[in-house]
Chain A
């Protein structure tokens, strides 16, 4: 091939950012990938994309993150991007009850369109607006427990827990993969997963190629 293929990572994980419109998804993405926050940001039309490479358990992991428009009507376009995602950050706004009540609908969306083993982190964003809080941490925690999600409150504005939320998702994905890899080749030696491989939690054998798995 004429172009250079990026081999600067051990793993490539596709993550989707979902949740109601206006909860701060795009700013979470820009905070995580560029350490930027913009108070005057435009609403997202369609999908946006950014990456960041970081270390997880001594491995170089590239997170390929798709940020989606939150309005319901846009799911006609955005749900195609759930395919192949191994992680999801499901964001609500702690100052808007409705965005929390809709978490269940977003989970249903993921179940319909994403891999069943997808790692999900629920993020209660805008924790800097504690005086306007409409969703208690306890409520969110109990929902996270009953639905089997990780949970964290975050603030893209204050750069609070953004790093940690992504780190946690990536670590969870990594551990699932390690477990699967070990189980898949209990007798074999060696490190297992070839370098630069895209990992699909659901079905590892499908992914012997090194292309990002984001076609529709």
Chain B
């Protein structure tokens, strides 16, 4: 909390007068009990940080060794949530972005300073529309907005076929709250180009092919895991593009409570996109009995406004972890490719 208090001093933007920020830097609209939900005791938190520091080593020097030796311990600890003070560093280690950075010295600077992008105006148009309630991004042309612009512009030059697509800003914005511009850029590259997991650039390529595939696969999963609800959805003509596009395009960073989004990202970067499907299913499962009684319009509303208790990471995530999706995802992918007569590209 203390970390961000000073920022208010130089913030002349249209901030509501009695505004306060939460521990992540978002302007509080109304007094919520989110800090109570953060309920980790101080000493417990400190113990966790010590464990993590040992696991990582100085500047991440022991990380690879530890992961190789005890992958299950790492997985379990990440699923419990990476300590906030180490999050930025750990994200870079588990995403493979740190290696990319080291292998490409000077490249980011080159992209930002010397290249021009056809997407510059599109990026500028959206800068103030990305996390508009976060202090870091609120100030017009302030450091937050400038970094966001630079990262997005650099990526649009780095991959001109993708360029800039709405939604990328939320990924970049989330990363920038935990690391420098250059680090955020390489993490974006690692994700979209597939440094560790399958590449996700298809989320943003022309035709949004990967979005379409994920939505198809998600619908498949709903019918398999929640057959009654799946049937209800099709009777009410609800399809995942109406509620889940944002989940995939921004990996839950667009409209979900920040503490939940961060916990999802911890797992997402280590285990891959599967967690997005799992969390989506867990949300539907948690609200199943309510959803099944709603008709079209109320459904759409409910699917965009989950109750607060459903979005408590300590309730939702254990539920998500318990859902198995791998087999079904594999099958539905093959089916999707058959239907769309697409050549297999990625693993």
Contact = CB atoms under 8 A, between A and B. Distances in A.
Interface of A: 2-6, 21-22, 39-47, 49, 51, 64, 69, 71, 73-74, 76-77, 80, 211-212, 214-216
Interface string B265-284: 00000000000000000000
Given A21-B125, A73-B165, A73-B206, A3 B295 contact: yes
Given A43-B130, A74-B166, A214-B237, A51 B297 contact: yes
Interface of B: 14, 122, 125-126, 128-133, 165-167, 169-170, 204, 206-208, 211-212, 236-237, 239, 241-242, 245-246, 249-250, 254-255, 293-297, 300
A211 B208 CA distance: 29
A41 B132 contact: yes
B166 A43 contact: yes
Nearest to A44: B166
Contact of B300 (A43, A49, A69, A73): A49
A2 B290 CA distance: 12
Given A73-B165, A212-B237, A216-B239, A45 B296 contact: no
Contacts of A43: 126, 129-130, 166, 169
A45 B167 contact: yes
Given A6-B295, A212-B296, A215-B239, A21 B126 contact: yes
B293 A42 contact: no
Contacts of A6: 295, 297
A21 B165 CA distance: 11
Q: SS class of chain B's interface: helix, strand, loop or mixed? A: loop
A5 B295 contact: yes
B246 A45 contact: yes
A147 B301 CA distance: 36
Contacts of B126: 21-22, 43
23 contacts: A22-B126, A22-B129, A41-B129, A42-B132, A43-B129, A43-B130, A43-B169, A45-B166, A45-B245, A45-B246, A47-B242, A47-B245, A49-B297, A71-B122, A71-B165, A71-B166, A73-B165, A73-B204, A73-B206, A76-B206, A80-B241, A211-B237, A215-B237
A53 B208 CA distance: 34
A47 B130 CA distance: 17
B241 A39 contact: no
A39 B140 CA distance: 13
Given A45-B166, A214-B237, A77 B245 contact: yes
A212 B298 CA distance: 13
Contacts of B131: 42
Nearest to B162: A73
Given A42-B129, A212-B296, A77 B208 contact: yes
Contacts of B128: 40
Contacts of B206: 73, 76
A42 B130 contact: yes
Nearest to A212: B296
Contacts of A214: 237
A45 B165 CA distance: 10
A72 to B, nearest CB: 9
Given A45-B249, A47-B242, A39 B204 contact: no
The 5 nearest A-B residue pairs measured at CB = A46-B245, A40-B132, A215-B237, A43-B129, A76-B208
A2 B239 contact: no
Contacts of B297: 6, 49, 51, 64, 212
A205 to B, nearest CB: 20
B208 A73 contact: yes
B246 A46 contact: yes
Contacts of A51: 297
Nearest to B245: A46
B322 to A, nearest CB: 28
Nearest to B15: A40
B125 A22 contact: yes
